[in-house]
Structure formats: C-alpha cells, structure tokens
Structure 1
Amino acid sequence: MMNVTSTMHGEPCEPVLQQLWQSVKAGQEEILLSPYLLASWGFLTHVLLCAPFLVLDALGSVCERVQGWRIAAGSGPPPPLRRWYDCFWRLLFKYLTTILPATAVVQMLRSPKLPYLAPSCWQLFVEVFACFLLFDTLFYIWHLMMHRVPWLYRNIHQLHHQHQIPFALAAQDASSPELLSQLVLALGCAWVVGCHPLSEAVFHLLNTWLAVEDHCGYDLPWGLHRLLPCLGGAPYHQAHHSLYSWNYAPYFTHWDRLFGTYYATVMDSRTE
C-alpha cells in the first residue's frame, strides 16, 4: 500500500482531502458501495437543499424584503404549502418506483471499488468543473430536442412545464423518463471524466443545489449567478419556464448565446 504521508526525504505530502476520505471510508465501505445509496442520497439532498426556500416561501407572505426578492412582480405569491406537499409525494413515488431500481442496477453493473488515495484539491476541482461543462453541453442538446420534437415534449418534458412559475422542490418534478435521462447524463459525465468517487459525490451535490437554486423563484443577493457571471441562475431559468423557447442550458449561458437561444434577463430590477 502506498505511503502518502510526508517525510524528510522529499516524498509527496499527504493530500489535504486524504484524512477526510479516510474518515468517510472508515467502517462505511459497505454503505458507500450499496446499490441504494445513490438514489437515497439524491432524494435526501434534494429535499434538504429545498428546505431554506420553503422557509423563504413561508416568510414571503409576511415579509416585504422576501417579497422583493421574488423574480417578477407578476409572478404572484409564493406557492402554498399544499403545492410543496403534493410535489414531495410525487417525487418520493418516482424515486421509489423508477430512480431507486435504475440506480441499483447501474451500481451493480459498475461494481465500483473505493480507491485508497483521495484526490488532490486541484484534481477534485478539475474533475467537478469538467463534469459541469460536459453535463451542461449534453443537457442543452437534450433539452433543445425535447422542445423541438413535439413527441418528446408531449410525452417526456411537458409535465415539468406545468410549473410556469417554478419553486425549489419542482426542480425534479418531471416525468419518470426525464428524471432517468438526467440521471444517465449525470452518471455518464462522471464516468467519461473518470471522476474519483469523492469528486463524483461533490459534482452530484452541487448539481442538485444549482438545479434547486435555478427553480427557486428568487433573485437572491447571494445567488451564485451574481458571484459567477457565467451562470444564468434563477432569473435565466424562470424566463425559460415563462417563455418556453429560450434559455435551454441548465447553468451556463455560453451555448444559448452561441446558438441564438439566449434571452437576456435583468438580474436585479431593484437596482434600476
């Protein structure tokens, strides 16, 4: 077994993430390799990351500041708790009947093994960033096809567009085939890039967060699209739900700009 601890003879220093990786692995390999982990992780992280926006929606009816963060004045009040409740049970049903069996089969076919070494911080960044670039490209193509091919739109994508004004939990409120296609794209990107399991876990976590933030209905002062101008963010994606024919890329804006499907949005009308 390779020794990765630092020595006095110029051997490589232990990667920053090595201790974290070792602590995650310690006594947990059976759980980490479980065919049911991926679906369970995906559902729980999605719900937990939506929780702050549930709080915002609850405050939106009584707090003017929160109301001011709503993307469009004409978008109406935040969705009632009943819509969250109904959406939660639809998602749970689809995860149990579709995503869980599919990910279990994929995991058993992959027969993964956990490496001893953790990735370096630079390796993790490169792998995650590469996954996002590839996922953004493939999703743009697939999303555009679902809108341009009537059969695909009616039978796969139309259900997601029941939310003309989306909310956080609705990020995954789609047909089972569409959820499966997103799963295949995400797993395929991690496989093509050759991600370390830790990099893949970070990619899936950030992918879930960005999807939730895109659908949240709020143009928040701390939104990632304000920190990273290359991202479209919630205003960009809400324009897609409202107009249907623009802004097909999930996160970045370069493909929409390049192919003429970009619809400019005002990030912060409150500053005008």
Structure 2
Amino acid sequence: MGQHADEEEGTKDRSLGNIRVNHVALASADALKEAPMEELDSKGGGGMKNFTVDHSNTVLQMLWDYVRLHHESTVVSPAFPVLLAFSGYLVFCIPFTLMDLVGERLLFIHKYKIQKGRPSVQMMGQCLWRAVFNHLVYVLPAVVINWFWRPPAPLPPTAPTFVQFFTGVISCLLVFDFQYYFWHLVHHKNQWLYKTVHAIHHDHVAPFSWSTQYLGGWELLTVGFWSNTTPLLFKCHPLTTWAFMLLSVWMSVEDHIGYDLPWSLHNIIPWGLCGGAPAHDLHHQKPNTNFAPFFTHLDRVFGTASTVQRRHRVKHKSNSLIHIMVKPLQQLRLHLFDVPVSSHASDQHVNLNNLRRSPNKQKVIYLEKGNKEFGVRL
C-alpha cells in the first residue's frame, strides 16, 4: 500500500510540474504578444535575453528564418551573389528565347516586336558563351579575392521590415542607375574607351535577351562591383540586397528583349519613369541617346533622351531618292532609319563591317528580299 501511495504522489507531482511549465510557456507567449518590439530580459537562469519579435513582419521573417536555418552555409559564401545573378540571367532569358524561336507563328506576341527579324540560335549561343567566358576569366578571380577581403559574416537574426525592404531596393536601383548612366555616357563620348571596352555590346543593333550580358570583361566587372557595393552604402539587409540584384537583372534583360510588351515594367510604372525595351532598343539604333539603364529622369535632365519612333513603311514619291533606288525592285520592303552602322546591315558594295564599332550615327537604308538583308549607307 505504501509503495502504491508513493507512485500516486509521484504522478501528481509530475502533473503539477507539467502544469507549471505550460503556465510559464503561456505567460511568456502572452508577454511577447503584449510587447512585440521590446527587449525581454529573463529573470531566471536560462531564459531569453535581448529577444525581439516583430509581428508586422511575419512573411519576411518566416522566409529569412528558413534561409538562415537551412541554407546559411550557402548564402554566406562570397560566390553566392554571383551565382544568384547569373542564374537569374539564365532563367529570365528562357521565355524570351522561346518567343524569338517561335517568331511569327505567335502573332499575338510577335506584333509587339520593335525591330524586324529575329536572332538566330548561333547568335544566342555566342552571347551565352561570352557570358560564361567572362564569368570564368574575370568574375571568378574577383570572387576569390573578395573571399579574403570580406570573409563570411554571420547572418542577422531578424529580417528587414517591409518599409526597409522596399526603400532599400528602390534606393539601390536609383544609385545604380546614376552610376551606370555616367559610366555609359563617358564610354560613348570617348572613342578609345568605346572601342576598347563598350563597343562589343553594340555588335547587335537589334538586341535580344541573351545580348544583355554580351559585354566586355571590364564592363561586367564594373557592373558587378556596383551591384555588390551599392547595397553597402545603405547597409541593406541580405534579403534586400538579393532582391535588388534579381530585380536589376530582370530589368536589364527586359531592356534587351526587343519587344514592347504591354505587361513590361515600363508600361506598368506610370509617367514614363522607366525606359524599358523601347528606350534601350533605340539606344542600340542611336548610340548617343538613352544612356540610363532603367529610368528616364537622367536622360531627360541632361538632354540625352530620345523618344521611341515606330517603324513605318515609307511612302514612295516620284521625286524622292528612295523611289529612284527602289523603283526597279517592286517586291522589296524598304525601311529608313537613323541607326549606327552594324554588321547586320552589310552590302557587298559597301564594307560596313569596318564601321560597326563606330559610335557615329549613319543614315542607312535597309532593303530586304527573302532572308537577305542589304544596307546602303547614304
């Protein structure tokens, strides 16, 4: 009987202990709810110290907790920003590649094409190979150097607020736009810098998605440097930094797709604040205009903005030079543009390949018959 009584008393004690533990846990939870933004100091031996809870930031905090608890070793690597940006470039280009490959068979999409024609698979492959080559030869050594310069740091325990997240991304985009505008402007005004560093990007008068990173190695390093250091100016949270990188890559790809799609950012954001594909496509046709990568305010302020001019069929007049040249060729379609001379507009009588990297604008008449395209410099 005595042993049975002892067992009953032990069971009661354990039950009371569980009740006390549950009561303490509920009290702690209530305290956290009542003071979500205050630091709670424990008065017991093994309590929580300096613990902060922000109930207004649940979504970002849940995302950040998942990243921090499951992928910390990956995201703290100095190579992670490069992998994030490059993988974003690959993924973002895929849908527009399908659009280019299908071409005229998707009329409801092809009608938004800014320039005629479409890139070949060979052109896409050349751009992709250039991007891979630049990352292996230029970016990878820079990542190794950065590994020693900025060793991995511990991740913060809390996520940014939505206000910090939004303002950080917008601030980084504006600063990057400012940096690249003047870099771009100088590299077009200085002949040596243009030919040595930037001219390769203008090999394609009609840009397409993969040509986004068809760059020289030094230009890619410059863009990568700004993408990684600009968030440091604002002491951005890693989540904010990664969002800025992905959004900047998306906007860069969208600038080069060659389609004026109604759902593109420049058609969604009001007041013409974003240039988008029409503005940058025109930059490849008129290289001395539209230097800003994302927004339009700098080009407007400094007088380098150029409005988009839609292609139109030129009316034949009996007294015009165009009519005299085209009259014997009744079936030819004629387009007149103010564009830089490019290897894509070559003529057997005019050697335009030597001029394709000249930033000077040239008057060019494009004549096309079937799959052949001829360029005549006026």
Q: Secondary structure at the match of 2:33?
A: coil
Aligned residue number for residue 211 of structure 2: 170
Aligned residue number for residue 40 of structure 1: 83
Residue 5 of structure 1 and its aligned partner are, at CA, apart by 10
Aligned residue number for residue 109 of structure 1: 149
Aligned residue number for residue 225 of structure 1: 266
Q: Does 2:284 align with 1:244?
A: no
> Aligned partners of 1:252 and 1:246: how far apart in 2?
13
Q: Does 2:221 align with 1:196?
A: no
**Change beyond 3 A, Cα 1:77–1:268:** closer
Aligned residue number for residue 36 of structure 2: 11
Which of 125, 142, 150 aligns to 2:166? It is: 125
* CA contact 2:180–2:293 (8 Å) conserved in 1: yes
**Change beyond 3 A, Cα 1:200–1:176:** same
Which of 72, 94, 100 aligns to 2:140? It is: 100
Q: Does 2:123 align with 1:68?
A: no
Q: Secondary structure at the match of 2:284?
A: helix
Unaligned runs of at least 5 residues, structure 1: none
**Change beyond 3 A, Cα 1:119–1:84:** same
User: Which is worse superposed, 96-105 or 44-53?
Assistant: 96-105
Residue 139 of structure 1 and its aligned partner are, at CA, apart by 0.7
Which of 96, 106, 114 aligns to 1:53? It is: 96
> Aligned partners of 1:95 and 1:5: how far apart in 2?
52
- 1:115-140 CA-to-partner distances (Å, cap 9, x unmatched) read 11100111000100100110111111
Aligned residue number for residue 187 of structure 1: 228
> Aligned partners of 2:136 and 2:118: how far apart in 1?
28
**Change beyond 3 A, Cα 1:96–1:4:** farther
- How many positions carry a matched residue from both structures? 264
* CA contact 2:89–2:249 (8 Å) conserved in 1: yes
Which of 140, 158, 170 aligns to 2:199? It is: 158
* CA contact 2:265–2:274 (8 Å) conserved in 1: yes
**Change beyond 3 A, Cα 1:107–1:209:** farther
Unaligned runs of at least 5 residues, structure 2: 1-27, 38-53, 313-378
* CA contact 1:61–1:78 (8 Å) conserved in 2: no
> Aligned partners of 1:106 and 1:8: how far apart in 2?
42
Aligned residue type for 2:186: M
**Change beyond 3 A, Cα 1:59–1:191:** same
Residue 164 of structure 1 and its aligned partner are, at CA, apart by 0.8
Residue 181 of structure 1 and its aligned partner are, at CA, apart by 0.7
> Aligned partners of 2:310 and 2:63: how far apart in 1?
38
Residue 159 of structure 1 and its aligned partner are, at CA, apart by 0.6
Aligned residue type for 1:158: A
Aligned residue type for 1:85: G
> Aligned partners of 1:122 and 1:107: how far apart in 2?
31
Residue 25 of structure 1 and its aligned partner are, at CA, apart by 1.3
Larger RCO, structures 1/2 (Cα 8 Å, 6+ apart) = 1
Q: Which has the higher strand share?
A: 2
- Point out 4+ residue stretches in structure 1 off by more than 6 angstroms: 3-6
Aligned residue type for 2:140: L
> Aligned partners of 1:115 and 1:6: how far apart in 2?
23
Aligned residue number for residue 139 of structure 1: 180
> Aligned partners of 2:63 and 2:309: how far apart in 1?
41
Residue 88 of structure 1 and its aligned partner are, at CA, apart by 1.1
**Change beyond 3 A, Cα 1:257–1:165:** same
Residue 218 of structure 1 and its aligned partner are, at CA, apart by 0.3
> Aligned partners of 1:10 and 1:226: how far apart in 2?
44
Structure of larger gyration radius: 2
**Change beyond 3 A, Cα 1:29–1:216:** same
Aligned residue number for residue 256 of structure 1: 299
TM-score between the two structures when normalised by the length of structure 2: 0.67
> Aligned partners of 2:29 and 2:211: how far apart in 1?
44
- 1:139-171 CA-to-partner distances (Å, cap 9, x unmatched) read 111110111111110110001111111100111
Aligned residue type for 1:100: L
> Aligned partners of 1:44 and 1:8: how far apart in 2?
40
Residue 38 of structure 1 and its aligned partner are, at CA, apart by 2.1
**Change beyond 3 A, Cα 1:239–1:118:** same
